Copies of this chain bind each other. A is one copy, B any other.
Amino acid sequence: MKPPTVYDVAAHAGVSIATVSRVLRRPDDVRASTREHVLATVRELGYVPSASARSLAARRTGVLGLYFPGFDAMEELDEAEFNQSEPVNVIVDMPDSGEVRPPNLYFDEVLRGSELEAWRRGFALLVGVGRGTNPEEMVSDIAGRVDGMAVLARSVPDALLDHISRRIPIVLVAGPRRGDNFDHVSVSNVEGMRTLTEHLIDRHGVRAPVFIGGPVDSPDDAERYEGFVQALAARDIDPAALPMLRGDFSRMQARSIAEGLVAAGELPRAVVCSNDQMALGVLDVLRRRGIRVPEDVIVTGFDGIEAGRQSTPRLTTVHQPMVDLGRAAVRAMLSRLDKRDQPPISLRLPVQVLLRESSEGSA
C-alpha cells in the first residue's frame, strides 16, 4: 500500500539499490540490459523517486524559490464556500463596473519569466506570495526548500535575508543596491524616466511637468523620480520648484490626485506618472472632465502594462521587461550557485520608451 522505494524496485529486479539509483541518475554507467530490466520494474511498481531523500543525499534540492509580497487588495477572497450556488447566474453587466480585477501583471510576468528559465535550466520553481500572514515565516519556509531564492526588494527585512543567505544565494528583484551584498536584478529606471522627460521637454516644449510618484518606500519610484529630476536639471529647470505629488501606485488614488489638480484650476502641460496604473487614473479624470489628451495635457506612465495599450488615448510609457527580469533573477541565482564567492552582481535590464497618443497626438 505504501509507495514503492528503491529497495522495492531493487528486490523486485534482483539488483542492488545502487544499481536502481544509477539507472535513474546515470544511465550510461549501467549495462543496457540491466537498465531496461530495472526500468521495466520501475514502471511495473509505479515507482516515483522521493525528491526529499534525493535532495538530502545529494545536498541540493533542484528547486528555486520566488517570493513576492501581495500588494493587491483582491487577495481577500471570501472564505465562503463557492460550490453551493446555482450553476449559472445571468448578469447584465453594465460598462462602468469599474476596475474589477486589477491583475498583478508585474508579478505574473516576473513569475512567468522565472518559471520559464528555471525549468529550462533543470530546476523547479516554488512560489510564495506574501499575504496577511507573516512574510518572515513564509520566506524562511521557502528558504529551507530551495537552492536559491529571488525576493522582491524591500519586501523582507534585511536581517532575515542575511540569515538566509548564509545557506542559499539570495537575489533581490527590482530594487537598487543598497548597503547589502546581495545580487540584484533591476531595470534602467533612471535612464528610462530621464529619456522620457527629456523628450517631453525637447519635443513638446514642456517646462513645468508635474510628477506623480508612488509610495515613499518604493525603490523603483525613487529611481524614476531621480531620472525625472536629472532631465530637468540638465535643461536648467529647477526640479524643486515643481510640485511632486505622491500616490500609492493605484489607479483609484491617482484619480483623486488628478481631481485635485483639476479643481485647483491650473493644469500642467504634462503629468508624468511613476507607473501606468496611476497614469490611467489620471486619464480617467481628464476624460470625464472633457480635457483633451494630449492637446491640453500630456500624460505618461511607466511599466508598459497591457491596459495602457488599450486605453484611449493609448498611454505613452516606459516599458520594462518583466519577463526578462524573472529570467535574469534565475540566471543570477544559478550563477552564484556556481561560484559562491564571486563579487555581487547588479544587473540592469534595458527599458523602452514607448511614445503613444497620450503624448504624441493621434495618428
Residues in chain A within 8 A of chain B (CB atoms): 3, 43, 46, 48-56, 61, 63, 75, 77, 82-83, 85-95, 100-101, 103-105, 108, 111-112, 115-116, 119-120, 124-129, 131, 133, 138, 140-145, 162-164, 166-167, 188, 191-192, 195, 199, 306-307, 309-310, 314, 318, 321, 323-324, 327-328, 347-357, 360, 363
Contact = CB atoms under 8 A, between A and B. Distances in A.
A92 B188 contact: no
6 contacts: A56-B56, A90-B195, A93-B356, A119-B131, A119-B133, A125-B128
Contact of A163 (B43, B54, B77, B95): B43
A198 to B, nearest CB: 10
B92 A360 contact: yes
B126 A86 contact: no
B83 A347 contact: yes
**A-B pairs with the 10 shortest C-beta distances?**
A52-B55, A87-B188, A46-B166, A51-B145, A51-B144, A52-B56, A3-B167, A93-B354, A87-B191, A90-B353
A348 B82 CA distance: 10
Q: Which of A75, A124, A307 has the most CB of B within 10 A?
A: A124
A46 B163 contact: yes
A56 B199 CA distance: 59
Given A124-B128, A129-B116, A355-B93, A328 B82 contact: yes
Contacts of A167: 3, 46, 48
A56 B103 CA distance: 38
Given A82-B350, A306-B103, A126 B87 contact: no
B129 A88 contact: no
B188 A88 contact: yes
B127 A115 contact: yes
A349 B82 CA distance: 7
B83 A328 contact: yes
A91 B355 contact: yes
B128 A119 contact: yes
A312 B31 CA distance: 65
A118 to B, nearest CB: 9
Contacts of A352: 88-91
Nearest to A317: B93
A49 B327 contact: no
Contact of A3 (B75, B120, B141, B166): B166
Contacts of A351: 87-89
Contact of A83 (B126, B306, B349): B349
Contacts of A83: 328, 347-350
B363 A85 contact: no
